A and B are shown apart, each in its own frame.
Chain A
Amino acid sequence: GAVVSQHPSWVICKSGTSVKIECRSLDFQATTMFWYRQFPKQSLMLMATSNEGSKATYEQGVEKDKFLINHASLTLSTLTVTSAHPEDSSFYICSAERGVGTDTQYFGPGTRLTVL
């Protein structure tokens, strides 16, 4: 149990376009989902915390207007990278917290974004 999927697994887009990444908890409901970014040979950096039915909480330095997060249901959160630029190229990983306040996150497989 506790499977989290992401779609797409990889995407290539042109500079200036927007890209949407989906994160789904397949066999459990997730009140809270998280979005991370991982640069090559670096650790995961938390971008934002997504709560179902409310606005996401962004970490310092993360532009909320650039990285739009929507957590419309208990099994789906989406991250939209708006007006993507080459510096947005990265590995984006989501996670979902199973149960409220359990502090245990289950991770998706990640999405590789390349902006040309």
Chain B
Amino acid sequence: AQSVSQHNHHVILSEAASLELGCNYSYGGTVNLFWYVQYPGQHLQLLLKYFSGDPLVKGIKGFEAEFIKSKFSFNLRKPSVQWSDTAEYFCAVIPSLYGGATNKLIFGTGTLLAVQP
């Protein structure tokens, strides 16, 4: 079945450590890619998105993601995490269907990141 996979369900890091969260999707054709973050008790917020162009996308709060088409991946990175990055991170995809486009967001299962001070 077509899906969005996030391999790490729970990640624990110390402050200043580097972060990489994996995201793979199984849809063919053109896709729009997103990373959303949900801080404790808050709503989902857009971190960054990729539609086209430079496959290395920079988002808010020092996050970036790289789209590798050949690997169907869109991994999220941050060189040095802070305690305030503790949150749940969701990768999401809008796949384009043959014969038309859809604006339906398909979410991955999420990765819970805990940063220890």
Contact = CB atoms under 8 A, between A and B. Distances in A.
Interface of A: 4, 32, 34, 42-46, 49, 93, 95, 97, 101, 103-110
B14 interface: no
Nearest to A97: B103
B90 A44 contact: yes
A86 to B, nearest CB: 24
Which residue, of B36, B44, B108, B110, has the highest number of chain A Cβ atoms within 10 A?
B44
Contact of A46 (B34, B46, B105, B108): B105
Contact of B94 (A32, A103, A106): A103
A44 B107 contact: yes
Interface of B: 32, 34, 36, 42-46, 49, 51, 90, 94, 103-110
Contacts of B32: 103
Nearest to B91: A43
Contacts of B43: 4, 93, 107-110
Main secondary structure of the interface of A (DSSP, over half): strand
Contacts, number: 45
A43 B112 CA distance: 12
Contact of B49 (A4, A34, A104, A109): A104
Given A93-B44, A103-B51, A49 B104 contact: yes
B40 to A, nearest CB: 12
8 contacts: A43-B90, A46-B104, A93-B44, A103-B32, A103-B49, A104-B46, A105-B46, A110-B43
B103 A32 contact: yes
